[in-house]
């Protein structure tokens, strides 16, 4: 996977401005949200490190309370932004723009591991990353 596609993850990472608000019966659930376990980590505002299977940190995503996010490279430069939402551990990120690499992508989160990290797997199963909430 190229670095260009990493910002699409979350945080890649992890839309549409609803933040961590609770759902009501009138809202349309995220397609596939039934796959998220009740124990799944529900993302909220904060900073997250995106790690590969070997522990390499690819990027960081800053998830903001206003329903937006920003992806940062290793030097802290913004390399992507958009909107996010999380419904019961199914986190969706919609990058700004309409290009082929800027479509909304959803990720199913696992429960928190003992070390505070969780695994986030793309809804089609094609990619999986360790996500670590970090301070700052």
DSSP string, 41-60: PPP-SEEEEEE-TTS-EEEE
Mean model confidence pLDDT for the chain:
77
Dist CA 34 CA 1 (whole Å): 27
Predicted TM-score of the model (pTM): 0.70
Q: Which residues pair with 92 in a beta bridge?
A: 85, 106
Find the mean pLDDT for residues 56-67. 94
Higher per-residue confidence, 13 vs 118: 118
Q: Which residues pair with 70 in a beta bridge?
A: 62, 81
pLDDT at residue 14 greater than cutoff 50: no
Tokens 């997250």 correspond to what residue?
48
pLDDT value, residue 6: 41
Closest CA to 3 of 45, 50, 48: 50
């Amino acid at each position: 996977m190229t670095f260009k596609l990493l910002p699409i993850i979350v945080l890649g990472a992890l839309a549409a401005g609803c933040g961590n608000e609770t759902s009501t019966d009138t809202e349309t659930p995220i397609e596939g949200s039934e796959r998220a376990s009740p124990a799944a980590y529900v993302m909220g505002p904060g900073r997250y490190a995106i790690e590969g299977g070997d522990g390499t940190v690819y990027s960081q995503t800053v998830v903001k309370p206003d329903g937006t996010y920003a992806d940062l490279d290793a030097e802290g430069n913004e390399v992507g932004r958009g909107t996010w939402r999380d419904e019961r551990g199914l986190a969706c990120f919609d990058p700004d723009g309409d290009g082929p690499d800027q479509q909304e992508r959803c990720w199913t989160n696992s429960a928190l591991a003992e070390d505070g990290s969780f695994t986030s797997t793309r809804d089609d199963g094609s990619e999986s990353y360790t996500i670590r909430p970090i301070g700052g």
